[in-house]
């Protein structure tokens, strides 16, 4: 057994896992009541008014939720601007291309946040743009994009704002209503600390109504899914029942921890300990501290001979799994610090790294 130091799936509590030992019929009123409770609880976590916003659960991974929003909200007469500074922003561009959405991409360096002033310029130059999408925590690098600055520009221009908050919602406070976010997408197996199986979309009710008739997919029709759930909590197609029950428990545990502010503090403490400890061992981070998220950190390979596969196996044998890098311009690896992970886990991980680096150094000396 080992703990996951990844951005999701992540290590969950035993109490969340135990909820999956119960089988449920999707037609049962008590199961549909769980779905409705989750929808309401997500709005409470987001701090939004249920009269203005609604929650829609969508089968599949987070990418399914992103694709559902893009292909259901961007109509034939609309144009989407995608701000991308990592693999997940570029994935939105691939979705838009495959679906035949009219779109344009503003691509920024992976170690820089998308610049609100540049987005403002693009909107001014192209009045055909109706929607703008951006990733909040881009786990390609671990960067936390400045959605506040982007939102001010986008909403000031009267455009629809779509935020991929896959790896931040529940672990980083997001003033959704204040920022005027129209669609926010996340997943069950991220900062809420559930297990994989569905994504969810928090959306302005007027924005959902505007999706009617626009969907380019049957199963990912966001409007149809919303209308079905609004009726009595039933999903249109077979739902991941065990994941739903686990997620309800995860939401209760988020509340018991003290809500998003408390979880963000724990994640931030984990992240601070991790970065300080890794730097003391000679590892350097890929991005600057002021844009670093409390979710996952990208580290550059150390100098000299180095095998990530060897290091990964060494760490995994001792109880933890880390993540390979996702960059094309540098050799890196990533370490997440979300899920059921605490400072004592980070300290233990640093001890393992210290042991590995010591053995590596001794081997190099012996070979000289």
304-333 confidence digits (pLDDT tens): 778 999 999 999 999 999 999 988 788 999
Domain with CATH 3.90.1150.10 in the chain: 259-367
Domain with CATH 3.40.640.10 in the chain: 13-256
Better-scored residue on pLDDT, 363 or 20: 20
Token pair of 275 as six digits: 């970065």
Q: What integer pLDDT is reported at residue 364 of this predicted model?
A: 61
Region 278-297: mean pLDDT is: 96
Cα–Cα distance, 10 to 5 (Å, whole number): 7
pLDDT band at 1 (very low <50, low <70, confident <90, very high): confident
DSSP per-residue codes, 209-236: HTTTTT-S-STT-HHHHHHHHHHHS--S
Beta bridge partners of 184: 163, 202
Region 154-166: mean pLDDT is: 98
- Cβ pair 357, 211 in contact under 8 A: no
- Cβ pair 226, 208 in contact under 8 A: yes
Q: What integer pLDDT is reported at residue 368 of this predicted model?
A: 63
Contacts of 260 (CB under 8 A, 6+ apart): 45, 170, 171, 172, 173, 254
Cα–Cα distance, 316 to 264 (Å, whole number): 26
Region 137-160: mean pLDDT is: 98
pLDDT band at 362 (very low <50, low <70, confident <90, very high): low
| 259-367 carries CATH number 3.90.1150.10 | yes
Q: What integer pLDDT is reported at residue 367 of this predicted model?
A: 66
Region 184-195: mean pLDDT is: 98
pLDDT band at 43 (very low <50, low <70, confident <90, very high): very high
Structure pTM? 0.96
Cα–Cα distance, 252 to 188 (Å, whole number): 13
Residue 74 has pLDDT above 70, yes or no: yes
Region 295-311: mean pLDDT is: 92
What DSSP state is assigned to residue 19? Answer: G
DSSP per-residue codes, 163-176: EE-TTTBTTB---H
Region 24-46: mean pLDDT is: 96
pLDDT band at 289 (very low <50, low <70, confident <90, very high): very high
Q: What is the pLDDT of residues 88-121, one digit of tens each?
A: 999 999 999 999 999 999 999 999 999 999 999 9
**CATH code matching the domain that covers 13-256, chosen among 3.40.190.290, 2.60.40.10, 3.20.19.10, 3.40.640.10:** 3.40.640.10
Q: What integer pLDDT is reported at residue 327 of this predicted model?
A: 83
Q: What integer pLDDT is reported at residue 22 of this predicted model?
A: 92
Q: Of 196-205, 263-272, 301-310, 354-363, which gets the smallest average pLDDT?
A: 354-363
Q: What integer pLDDT is reported at residue 93 of this predicted model?
A: 98
Indicate the average pLDDT of the chain. 96
DSSP per-residue codes, 78-90: --EEEEESSHHHH
Share of the chain above pLDDT 90, in %: 92
Region 343-367: mean pLDDT is: 86
Residue 366 has pLDDT above 70, yes or no: no
């Amino acid at each position: 057994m080992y703990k996951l130091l990844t951005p999701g799936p992540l290590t969950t509590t035993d109490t969340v896992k135990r909820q999956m030992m119960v089988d449920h019929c999707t037609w049962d009123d008590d199961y549909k009541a769980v779905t409705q409770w989750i929808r309401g609880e997500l709005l409470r976590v987001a701090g939004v008014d249920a009269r203005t916003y609604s929650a829609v659960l969508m089968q599949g991974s987070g990418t399914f939720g992103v694709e559902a929003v893009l292909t259901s909200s961007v109509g034939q007469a609309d144009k989407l601007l995608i701000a991308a500074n990592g693999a997940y922003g570029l994935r939105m561009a691939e979705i838009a291309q495959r679906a035949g959405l009219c779109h344009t991409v503003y691509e920024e360096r992976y170690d820089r946040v998308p610049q609100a002033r540049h987005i403002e310029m693009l909107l001014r130059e192209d009045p055909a743009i109706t929607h703008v999408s951006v990733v909040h925590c881009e786990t390609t690098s671990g960067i936390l994009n400045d959605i506040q600055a982007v939102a001010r520009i986008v909403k000031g221009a009267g455009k629809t704002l779509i935020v991929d908050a896959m790896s931040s919602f529940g672990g980083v406070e997001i003033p959704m209503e204040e920022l005027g976010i129209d669609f926010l997408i996340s997943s069950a197996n991220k900062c809420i600390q559930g297990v994989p199986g569905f994504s969810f979309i928090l959306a302005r009710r007027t924005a959902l109504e505007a999706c009617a008739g626009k969907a380019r997919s049957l199963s990912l029709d966001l409007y149809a899914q919303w209308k079905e759930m609004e009726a009595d909590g039933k999903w249109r197609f077979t739902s991941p029942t065990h994941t739903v029950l686990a997620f309800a428990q995860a939401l209760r545990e988020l509340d018991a921890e003290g809500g998003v502010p408390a979880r963000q503090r724990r994640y931030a403490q984990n992240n601070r300990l991790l970065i300080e400890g890794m730097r003391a061992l000679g590892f350097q981070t890929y991005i600057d501290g002021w844009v670093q998220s409390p979710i996952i950190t990208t580290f550059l390979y150390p100098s000299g001979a180095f095998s990530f596969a060897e290091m990964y196996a060494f760490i995994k044998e001792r109880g933890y799994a880390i993540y390979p890098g996702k960059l094309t311009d540098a050799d890196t690896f990533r370490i997440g610090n979300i899920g059921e992970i605490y400072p004592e886990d980070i300290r233990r991980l640093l001890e393992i790294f210290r042991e590995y680096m010591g053995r590596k150094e001794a081997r190099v000396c012996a070979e000289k």
